[in-house]
């Protein structure tokens, strides 16, 4: 299933803001890390309906991916 592109853009914004708050990063850094992450790729490709997961959950997954690097 694929999501509406406009709704995805809004979701991306909320995930980036949540990630920024958790990691105390600048919005520019959070944006860059998000758009180069596995989570972004999977959501944008419609894998496993990840876009249906909560923003908090996806931000936490992004934090985990960020800490692995």
Tell me the C-alpha to C-alpha distance, in Å, between residue 25 and each of 4, 29, 48, 53, 63. Answer: 28, 6, 28, 23, 11
pLDDT value of position 46: 85
pLDDT digits (tens, 9 = 90+) for 26-69: 999 999 999 999 999 999 988 888 999 999 999 999 999 999 97
Provide the residue ranges of all domains of the chain, joining segments of one domain with +: 5-68
Q: What is the pTM of this model?
A: 0.90
pLDDT value of position 15: 97
CA pair distance 65, 10, nearest whole angstrom: 21
Tell me the C-alpha to C-alpha distance, in Å, between residue 16 and each of 1, 9, 21, 27. Answer: 22, 11, 9, 8
Beta carbons of 50 and 39 less than 8 angstroms apart: yes
45 against 3, higher pLDDT: 45
pLDDT value of position 24: 95
């Amino acid at each position: 299933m694929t999501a509406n592109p406009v709704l995805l853009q809004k979701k991306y914004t909320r995930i980036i803001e949540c990630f920024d708050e958790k990691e105390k990063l600048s919005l520019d850094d959070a944006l860059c890390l998000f758009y180069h992450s596995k989570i972004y790729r999977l959501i944008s490709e419609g894998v496993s309906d990840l876009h249906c997961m909560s923003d908090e959950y996806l931000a936490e997954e992004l934090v985990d991916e960020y800490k692995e690097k």
